[in-house]
Amino acid sequence: MAEGRVVGIDLGTTNSLVAYMQGDAPVVIPGVDGSNLVPSVVALDPVPAGGGRPTVTVGNTARKALIETPERVIYSVKRLMGRGLQEIQDELKLFPFRLAEDVETGEVPRIRLGELKFTPPEISAYILRQLKRNAERFFGAPVTQAVITVPAYFNDAQRQATKDAGRMAGLEVLRLVNEPTAAALAYGLDREKVGTIAVYDLGGGTFDISILKLRDGIFEVQSTNGDTHLGGDDIDNLLLAIALDEIHAEHGVDLRVHPGAVQALRKAAIDVKISLSTEPVARFDIELPNGDRYQREIPRAVFELLIEPVLARTAGPCKQALTDAGITPEQIDEVVLVGGSTRIPAVRQLVDDLFHLKARGKRPHIELNPDEVVALGAAVQADILAGASKSTEEMLLLDVTPLSLGIEALGGTVARIIQRNSTIPASATEHFTTGVDGQTNVAIHVVQGERELAADCRSLARFDLRGIPPMSAGLPRIEVKFLIDADGILHVSAREQRSGQVAQIEVKATYGLTDEQVESMILDSFDHAEEDFAKRLLIEARNEAETILAAVERAPESPAWNQLRGEEQEAIAAARNRLASVKQGEDAAAIRDATLALDQATRRFAELMMEAAVTSAIRGKTMEAAGVDLGEAVTAPHAMAPAEFK
């Protein structure tokens, strides 16, 4: 086949993954460190000694910098995608995003990262480029086309921002797929299923519920609902707030003023949360800067009471989705659980109650790893689009638009032209005229949402129909066609019918980048070039080798080194010598293998380092001493960063 592979990408709030179809089964492509999950964290390295633009790092490497240089790191950027300045004020209270001061209302906000500024799509583009490179390394061939997943409840601007990010990363985004629908695809592959299924997707930052009808390989979404600001992050924040308050009240220590310490405490809160999914009790046990210990047992019952309001917020969207699909809970044949937060027993209990599962002798589906299922589904959709394989040729996904599309009418009310849950692509045609003699433009305001007043809906775009031939008021008849494409993105075209002239439209998206802006933000335009590819692979492999070699070189200075057994130290030395010699050669694959081997050999050392770093951060020691040598291989399910509380 002349064209390359199409990969499936889950661009998540906390972690991102890339997957592809291997034969008739989707598999996740691991990164160079062997991990399937790439933390959605982007860091800016220090400015090089000779000046010039600093390097951007992504994933586990970037996460390491969270402790050392929090002001040069960003995570959870998905929460900012496609949003305006006003809308992100709430996020700023909970996350250490530092906005550039010179952004004006109506512009896409930019985030300060060290001495540079980036828009959210640019940050996402760096994550996408890392995934693209992971896939290219894996295949040994360029990858230029992808399917990217988005929360089902993402609006037009959030979808467009995601597509822009793909383009900046050198990826042609063949389709945006809704995350719950992708999960259904991953589950629907191995069985010939008929029936109605509900996908309950509670991730790091977003919640989606989708109801689908499966029949003869057709996955027809009946309804979808959700909340783009509800997820595991909210649960972490609740635990963190308790710990911070108690430490302040009982020990007189205000950790909030130490970003690094809050960061470490957040990690402890996440550990408590994860542990409570399997244990009846979990505990904070942390040494404080003044030498005190903060020791706190959290029984599961207390935790469940604490998070109850967060979980309850998922019930409303579920009920609305059932109503919109015109069915009762009993008519749901299967429930699929997606997203790391569905590991919490209280979430499973809530789902059981909502869909009356136990009473009907049913259990939710959790067979596929909830962290990976969306990426696997994206790979299935990628395979459908590539049209290349027998296993997916009978499958077709019919998705819907999550929000109604409307036009602002007289008096600020909304005239709905495409109802929510309409199967996409969907279109609507509206006619407009002039109110004044000789008027040559008509302004149209398009909104998305379910509220009755345009001011309460989300402003999508303002269109100016121009070049209308001068006529008496009310005589021109301008036909405007609105079309929502298969990605859930709006397109508009217009025509003046009496004169036959095609009216010019100037589309001004309320929150978004112009085509020119996106063009100017494309990362490494030479990324596609075949001849550069092998060279780049080699350079990257050598860079990775050098990074890990440098870290291993400094390892004996660390106290953690002495905790290793003699044979562990010898194994590391052997792997280091092997890599040092292979690195001189031209074989990128061999260098990568040797890097991976050294990485494996140092895994336990890296874990010891990580523990030391967390302890030191809590004790307020210098970050440099603690975090400098965190190994590449350290993997944790969540990004860590300082959080601020009001």
Rounded CA gap, 179 and 455, in Å?
Answer: 29
- The reply on whether position 431 binds another protein by CB under 8 A is no
Q: Hey, which residues between 241 and 270 contact another protein (CB under 8 A)?
A: none
| Pattern 2-41, another protein, x by CB under 8 A | -x--------------------------------------
**Least separation in angstroms between CB 394 and another protein:** 8
| Pattern 217-246, another protein, x by CB under 8 A | -x-x--------------------------
- The reply on whether position 502 binds another protein by CB under 8 A is no
What lies within 8 Å, CB to CB, of 584 at 6+ separation is: none
- The reply on whether position 427 binds another protein by CB under 8 A is yes
From 193-201, 276-284, 481-489, 571-579, span contacting another protein (CB under 8 A): 481-489
Per CB under 8 A, the list member of 384, 537, 609, 630 interacting with another protein is 384
Alpha helix positions (H), 583-639: 588-601, 603-619, 623-627
Q: What is the DSSP string of 138-168?
A: HHTS---EEEEEE-TT--HHHHHHHHHHHHH
Give the residue with the Cβ less far from another protein, 353 or 452. 452
Count CB atoms within 10 A of the CB of residue 313: 13
Per CB under 8 A, the list member of 409, 475, 550, 625 interacting with another protein is 409
**Least separation in angstroms between CB 430 and another protein:** 9
- The reply on whether position 49 binds another protein by CB under 8 A is no
**Least separation in angstroms between CB 327 and another protein:** 15
Distance between first and last Cα of the chain: 56
**Least separation in angstroms between CB 333 and another protein:** 18
From 235-243, 335-343, 377-385, 523-531, span contacting another protein (CB under 8 A): 377-385
Rounded CA gap, 117 and 165, in Å?
Answer: 16
Q: Phi first, then psi: what are they for 440, rounded to 5°?
A: -115, -5
**Least separation in angstroms between CB 389 and another protein:** 14
From 67-75, 384-392, 567-575, 590-598, span contacting another protein (CB under 8 A): 384-392
**Least separation in angstroms between CB 384 and another protein:** 6
The DSSP secondary-structure symbol of 34 reads S
**Least separation in angstroms between CB 486 and another protein:** 5
Give the residue with the Cβ less far from another protein, 387 or 559. 387
- The reply on whether position 385 binds another protein by CB under 8 A is yes
Rounded CA gap, 59 and 264, in Å?
Answer: 18
Per CB under 8 A, the list member of 112, 193, 416, 604 interacting with another protein is 416
What six digits make up the tokens of 397? 């996904």
Per CB under 8 A, the list member of 485, 540, 546, 568 interacting with another protein is 485
Identify whether the C-beta of residue 35 lies closer than 8 Å to the C-beta of residue 50. Answer: no
Please state whether beta strands 334-338 and 195-202 pair in parallel, antiparallel, or not at all (unpaired).
parallel
Identify whether 532 is a catalytic site residue.
Answer: no
What lies within 8 Å, CB to CB, of 67 at 6+ separation is: 260, 263, 264, 613, 617, 623, 626, 627, 630, 640
What six digits make up the tokens of 348? 């499973």
- The reply on whether position 396 binds another protein by CB under 8 A is yes
What lies within 8 Å, CB to CB, of 74 at 6+ separation is: 41, 42, 43, 97, 111, 113, 118, 123
Q: Name the amino acid, one letter, at 501.
A: Q
Name the burial class of residue 81, with classes exposed (0-12), middle (13-18) and buried (19+) by CB atoms within 10 angstroms of its CB: buried
Q: Phi first, then psi: what are they for 75, rounded to 5°?
A: -140, 170
From 27-35, 76-84, 286-294, 396-404, span contacting another protein (CB under 8 A): 396-404
Nearest Cα neighbor of 416 from 374, 464, 369, 450 is: 450
Rounded CA gap, 87 and 157, in Å?
Answer: 13
- The reply on whether position 194 binds another protein by CB under 8 A is no
**Least separation in angstroms between CB 427 and another protein:** 4
- The reply on whether position 324 binds another protein by CB under 8 A is no
Q: What is the DSSP string of 151-217?
A: -TT--HHHHHHHHHHHHHTT-EEEEEEEHHHHHHHHHHSSS---EEEEEEEE-SS-EEEEEEEEETT
Nearest Cα neighbor of 163 from 155, 152, 174 is: 174
Per CB under 8 A, the list member of 41, 174, 221, 633 interacting with another protein is 174
Identify whether 10 is a catalytic site residue.
Answer: yes
In this structure, is the dihedral angle defined by the CA atoms of residues 68, 70, 76 and 78, taken in order, positive or negative? negative
Give the residue with the Cβ less far from another protein, 84 or 488. 488
From 150-158, 230-238, 355-363, 405-413, span contacting another protein (CB under 8 A): 405-413
Q: What is the DSSP string of 220-231?
A: EEEEEEEETT-S
Give the residue with the Cβ less far from another protein, 104 or 216. 216
Q: Name the amino acid, one letter, at 10.
A: D
- The reply on whether position 500 binds another protein by CB under 8 A is no
Q: What's the helix, strand, coil split of the chain in %, to 5?
A: 40, 25, 35
Count CB atoms within 10 A of the CB of residue 568: 16
| Pattern 199-218, another protein, x by CB under 8 A | ----------------xx-x
- The reply on whether position 453 binds another protein by CB under 8 A is yes
Q: Determine which one of 33, 64, 68, 78 is catalytic.
A: 78
What lies within 8 Å, CB to CB, of 410 at 6+ separation is: none
Please state whether beta strands 478-484 and 490-496 pair in parallel, antiparallel, or not at all (unpaired).
antiparallel
The DSSP secondary-structure symbol of 49 reads T
Q: Determine which one of 33, 164, 201, 527 is catalytic.
A: 201
Per CB under 8 A, the list member of 320, 419, 441, 517 interacting with another protein is 419
From 64-72, 223-231, 480-488, 517-525, span contacting another protein (CB under 8 A): 480-488
- The reply on whether position 435 binds another protein by CB under 8 A is no
Identify whether 250 is a catalytic site residue.
Answer: no
- The reply on whether position 320 binds another protein by CB under 8 A is no
Give the residue with the Cβ less far from another protein, 187 or 219. 219
The DSSP secondary-structure symbol of 121 reads H
Rounded CA gap, 641 and 63, in Å?
Answer: 9
Q: Determine which one of 33, 164, 179, 527 is catalytic.
A: 179
Identify whether 201 is a catalytic site residue.
Answer: yes
- The reply on whether position 397 binds another protein by CB under 8 A is yes
Residues that bind another protein (rule: CB under 8 A) add up to a total of 38
What lies within 8 Å, CB to CB, of 491 at 6+ separation is: 482, 483, 484, 485
- The reply on whether position 413 binds another protein by CB under 8 A is yes
Per CB under 8 A, the list member of 452, 519, 587, 624 interacting with another protein is 452
Give the residue with the Cβ less far from another protein, 358 or 431. 431
The residues annotated with a catalytic role in the active site are 10, 78, 179, 201
- Residue ranges in contact with another protein by CB under 8 A: 3, 174-175, 215-216, 218, 220, 381, 384-387, 396-398, 406, 409-411, 413-417, 419, 422-428, 452-453, 483-486
